[in-house]
Amino acid sequence: MMLLNLKYFFKMTQQNWFDLDHQYLWHPYSARYSQSPIYPVTKAQGVTLTLVDGRELIDGMASWWCAIHGYNHPQINQALKDQIDQFSHIMFGGLTHEPACLLAEKLVSITPDNLKHVFFVDSGSVAVEAAMKMAIQYWYAKKQPKKQHFITIRCGYHGDTLGAMSVCDPYTGMHTLYNDVLPKQIFVDPLTHDIALDINNMRQALIDNQQSVCAVIIEPIVQGAGGMIFYSAEYLKQLHQLCDEYQVLLIFDEIATGFGRTGKLFAMEYPAITPDICCLGKSLTGGYLTLAATLTTDNVAQTISENKPYAFMHGPTFMANPLACSAALASINLLFETDWQTKVKKIEQGLQALFICNELEKVATVRVLGAIGVVELKEAVDLANIQALFVNEGVWIRPFGKLVYIMPPYIISETELNYLIQAIYKVLSLY
C-alpha cells in the first residue's frame, strides 16, 4: 500500500501538490484556513521566481533578505554537492568537522578583532536566544545572578522564540498577545533622532535598573521588522560608552544588517565599535540553508567557561550543520570575490528613484540605505490585496504594516531594480 501511495505521489500534477498546501500547510503570520492567495513557485533562478502558471516575478525581497546572491548560484550549489558526498550532518557535541572550523575562522577574520569565539545555532531567533543566555550566564559567573533582564529600544525586532520575543516591541510589534507570559524587559522610548534625548532616556533606564540588567540588545543602524527605522552611528557610540559606564554587556543583533546589506559589511562598522556579543544570520548562507551564529569576546567566553557550571548551557541538535557551514563559506567567499561594495552602492543609487513616491498622498516618507529601500505609508496595507497587485505587475514584494520595502539580491540589474521601483509607484498610485 505504501508503494502504491508513493507511486501516486510522484505522479502528481503541479495542481495536485499545490492543493496539498491548502489542505495541510500553515504559513507564517497567517490563519490556517486563510483565503489570502498563496503563489506556488516551481523555479528560482537569479532574481526571478517562476510560478506554477509560468508567470515570472522579479524578487525584491531576497527571500526575507537572505538570498544576497540570488537563486541557484553554481558556486554555492557546488559547495553543497561536494559536502553531501562526504556527510550531511554529524552531532556537534564531542565531534567537529572542517566546514565548521573554516567558517568560524572566516567569521572571526571578517568581524571586529575582539569577537573571537563562535557559537553556531539553527536560526536568527536562536542566535538571539543564545546571546541572551550568554549574557545571563556571564553575570551568574560573575556572582551577580540577579542581572537577568535586558534593556532595548522600542520598535525593535529580534525573532519569534520566547526569549527573542521578550525584547521585541511589546506594543507595536507582532507578539503583543504573548506579553503576559514573556519575561519582562525594560524598553526605552523609540529613537527620536535627537541623540541627547535618546541617550538620556537610555542612561535613565540604566540608572533605574542597573542591579537587574545584564545587557542592552539593539539592532545597529537599522531596526528591521519592527519598523525599518534608520538611525545614527553617534547614538551607538554613546550607547557603547554608557554600557561600559554602567557595567552591562552590549549585544548587537546583525541578523538583518550583516553581510553588506547597509553598505558596510556589518552595521557595527558605522560607529566603529565592537559589542560584547553579536548575532549573525539570514545572509550567512546566501539563503540556501538555515544557519546563524553568536559571536563573543575572550572576556565573555572565559568568564562563562571558567566558572560554574563550567560550560555554556545551550546546544542545538543541528548546530554547525556541515551542509549549512559549507554553503556559508561559499557565500562569504563569493561575496568577497564579486565586489559587493560596488554592487550595493549601485543598488543604493538606483533606489533613490523611490523618492518619487513622496508625491503620493498616501505616502508618509521614503528612506534608503545601502540595499534597503523603504516606502512608509500613512495607513497599514491590506496585504492580500496589495500582494496580488504586485504579482500582477510581475514583482515579488511583500509589505507589512505601513511599510512597502525592497531588499533585493545584490546581483539585481539596473533594469530589474527600475522595474521593481516602477511597480511600487504604480501599485501605490492605484491602491
Residue 369 pLDDT > 80:
yes
Tell me the pLDDT of the chain averaged across its residues: 94
Side chain identity, residue 302 = Q
Catalytic residue among 71, 138, 140, 157: 157
Asked if pLDDT for residue 3 goes beyond 50, the answer is no
Q: Residues 132-142: pLDDT tens digits? A: 999 999 999 99
Say if residue 319's pLDDT is above 90.
Answer: yes
DSSP 81-133: HHHHTT-S---SSS---HHHHHHHHHHHHHS-TT--EEEEESSHHHHHHHHHH
pLDDT confidence tier of residue 15, bands split at 50, 70 and 90: low
Catalytic residue among 198, 253, 288, 343: 253
Q: What is the pLDDT of residue 22?
A: 87
Domains observed in the chain: 24-72+340-430 (3.90.1150.10), 77-337 (3.40.640.10)
Rounded Cα–Cα distance for residues 350 and 341 (Å): 14
Yes or no: say if 47 and 55 are a contact pair by the CB < 8 Å rule. Answer: no
| pLDDT score, position 89 | 98
Which band of pLDDT confidence, cut at 50, 70 and 90, is reported for residue 12? low
43 is catalytic: no
In the sheet with 48-51, reading across from the earlier edge strand, the strands are: 41-45, 48-51, 56-59, 395-396
Mean pLDDT of 420-431: 96
Using an 8 Å Cβ cutoff, are 278 and 300 in contact?
no
DSSP 8-state symbol, 376: E
User: Is 180 assigned a catalytic role?
Assistant: no
Q: Which of 219, 91, 245 is nearest to 167 (CA)?
A: 219
End-to-end alpha-carbon separation of the chain, Å?
51
Q: Which of 7, 11, 24, 29 is catalytic?
A: 29
| In the chain, % of residues over pLDDT 70 | 96
pLDDT of residue 19: 86
The whole-number pLDDT of residue 32 equals 87
Lowest mean pLDDT among 25-39, 44-58, 65-79, 410-424: 25-39
What are the DSSP calls for 168-235, one per residue? Answer: S-TTTSS-GGGTTTS---EEEPPP-S-HHHHHHHHHHHHHHHTTTEEEEEE-SSEE-TTT-EE--HHH
pLDDT band at 172 (very low <50, low <70, confident <90, very high): confident
For residue 157, give every residue at least 6 positions away whose Cβ sits within 8 Å of its Cβ, in sequence order, or none.
168, 169, 173, 174, 219, 223, 224, 225, 226
All cell numbers assigned to 68: 544576497
User: Would you state the pLDDT for residue 14?
Assistant: 61
Give per-residue pLDDT as tens, 338-349. 999 999 999 999
Res 11: pLDDT: 52
pLDDT in tens, 394-403: 999 999 999 9
Active site residue 189: no
Instruction: Judge whether 227 and 154 are in contact, CB under 8 Å.
Output: no
pTM for this prediction: 0.94
Mean pLDDT of 203-213: 97
pLDDT digits (tens, 9 = 90+) for 239-296: 999 999 999 999 999 999 999 999 999 999 999 999 999 999 999 999 999 999 999 9
C-alpha cell at 270: 558605522
- At 180 the pLDDT is 87
* Active-site residue flag, 282: yes
| Given 140, 147, 270, 282, the catalytic residue | 282
Q: Would you place residue 4 in the very low, low, confident or very high pLDDT band (cuts 50, 70, 90)?
A: very low
The pLDDT of residue 13: 62
User: Does 1 score more than 80 pLDDT?
Assistant: no
